[in-house]
Amino acid sequence: MAKPQIYANPGGLRDIIPAAERTNQDYQEVSDMGETVIIMQNMFYGIQEQSLVAFDIKIGKSTTSGSKLVESKEESLVGAFFREMKMKLYDRFTKSSTRGWRAIPIDDKDRAKTGRNSETFLREQLDRINVSKDAALKSIITQLNLIKNRLEQNKKTFIASSVLIVIDLQHPENACVKLIDLAHPIDENSKLFQKYKKSFDEGIIALLTFFGAYAAEKE
């Protein structure tokens, strides 16, 4: 679930983020919050556990902003400073600051190790695709390009957003790629826009390069 921000009013980003619906009464835990929230699409629905391959890939060379944390009231000025410093060190350790992206395991185990070895992790998971691999890779690359182009067209970027790639090994040609973790949107009128747009663009281009190279190896 997510608070009704970009999910409630996706505009031109509708086809690159998970489908969502507004509700304040369908679920008891939602009613208890006393507010309307957004229920996001379960992208794993209908996929058997043994057939599921999923990547949560954090995009950007920098994945936090102290001023954005203060603005969103998530942290105090001091708290935001220390959190930003901590995340900068984490970005360096996991190589996000040079690679431009990092993989996060869906089971949330060994996040730092997986992030640091993101290329190896993705290759191992992609190697599990035994049928329609070429079609799956082409679909993923097409959808990643769509995300990049939609953000460009709508003059919007995000801090610490991810792309979620979901593959059903029984039907890998139907791979689905969506932009998630959209709590910190930045419009072009923000003084932070150019900095984080550059960070995001470099990250998603690097990810596209990775998938392109992997696809070429498997031809």
Domains of the chain, each with CATH number or no CATH? 1-41 (no CATH), 46-64+96-217 (3.30.470.160)
**Of 36-40, 62-66, 145-149, which gets the smallest average pLDDT?**
36-40
Q: pLDDT per residue over 68-111, tens digit each?
A: 443 544 555 556 555 677 778 889 999 999 999 999 988 878 99
Contact 64, 92 (CB under 8 A): no
pTM exceeds 0.85, yes or no: no
What gap in Å lies between CA 121 and CA 127, rounded to an integer? 10
Q: What is the pLDDT of residue 79?
A: 62
22 CB neighbour count, 10 Å cutoff: 12
> 34 falls in which pLDDT band (50, 70, 90)?
very low
The fraction of the chain above a pLDDT of 70, given in percent, is: 79
Contact 63, 160 (CB under 8 A): yes
> 219 falls in which pLDDT band (50, 70, 90)?
confident
Q: What is the pLDDT of residue 65?
A: 46
Q: pLDDT per residue over 137-155, tens digit each?
A: 999 999 999 999 999 999 9
